[in-house]
Every structure is written in C-alpha cells, then in structure tokens.
Structure 1
C-alpha cells in the first residue's frame, strides 16, 4: 500500500512538472508569434500552439480574471508556475508523508 501511495504522489509531481513545462513553452511560443519570428500559418506551429493553449488555458484563466490589466503584460504564467512549484515542494511531500504515516 505504501508503494502505491508513493507512486501516486510521484505521478502527481510528474504531471505538475509537465504542466510547468507546458506553461513555459506556451509563453515562449506566444512571444515568438507576437514578434513574427514564427507564424501560425504553418500547420505544425498552429497545432502545437493550439495544443498548448488547450492545456494551459484552464489553469491560467482563473488567475487572469483576478489580476488587473497591466497594459498587455500577462504575468499569470509566472504566478501559476510559482503556485505549482509551491504545491510540488511543500504540499505534495507533506500530504504523502501524512498518508504514509496513517497507513503504516
């Protein structure tokens, strides 16, 4: 049972890590599109951008609603990454250790 709990928390940590990576890649891709380094008329670029937007939009939208307008600068990815890293470093290990102590 302890191994299953450790695996579930490892999996949650890995998924959150992938979400952070998706947020970073989405931000960089949006900058490259905004500065006309790449364009969305390329089918592959459009597919990647659409996929990343579909993954990150549900996470970013609640934070974007709360934040005031900063003149076109979107800092919501930074805030979401900080929140996710806080969960990964503090809440997941604490919850995992608590569950392991209860099971043992």
Structure 2
C-alpha cells in the first residue's frame, strides 16, 4: 500500500510540474519572449495543452468568465495541494 501512496504523490507532482510549465510558457508567449513559429516551442505548447485540457475543461465550464483572465490553473493547483494534504494526513492508512 505504501507503493500506492508514493505513486499517487508522484502523479500529483508531475501534474503540478506540467501546470507550472504551462503557466510560465503562456506568460512567455504572451510577452513575446517565446515565438510560436519555432517548431519546438509550438510542439511543447500544443503537447501541454493536450495533456492539461482534460483537467482544465470541466473546471472552465464551472468558473464564470473573468474577462480574459483564466483562473483554471490556480484552481487546479489548489485542488492538487488539497489532495496532497489529504493524502499526507491519511498516510497511515497506506502503511
């Protein structure tokens, strides 16, 4: 059962990293530091979008429109932190 706990924590860590990379990359693209005409940048961007859209989609349907401000990554990061807290507080069940 400890392996299950570690796998769940690893999955949450990977998703956390992908979301942070997606947010930082969106800022760099919007401030024109990164150019979407570069093939590598475009592939990474579209890959991150394809991985994260199943997570973002249901939350975007719930959140009201904020006038161009997307709070979906913040909500997902808060949910991941809440899941980590719940898992850590109940870690004794996995041992």
Question: Root-mean-square deviation (CA), in Å?
Answer: 1.4
TM-score in terms of structure 1 length: 0.83
Residue 53 of structure 1: aligned partner: 49
User: In the TM superposition, what whole-angstrom CA distance separates every residue of 1:40-68 from its partner, at most 9, and x where no partner exists?
Assistant: 11111111111111111111111111111
Gaps of 5+ in 2: none
Does residue 8 in structure 1 map to residue 4 in structure 2? yes
Residue 18 of structure 2: aligned partner: 22
**How many positions carry a matched residue from both structures?**
95
Runs of 4+ residues over 3 Å off in structure 1: 93-96
For 2:5 and 2:39, how far apart are their aligned partners in 1? Answer: 37
Gaps of 5+ in 1: none
For 2:53 and 2:5, how far apart are their aligned partners in 1? Answer: 24
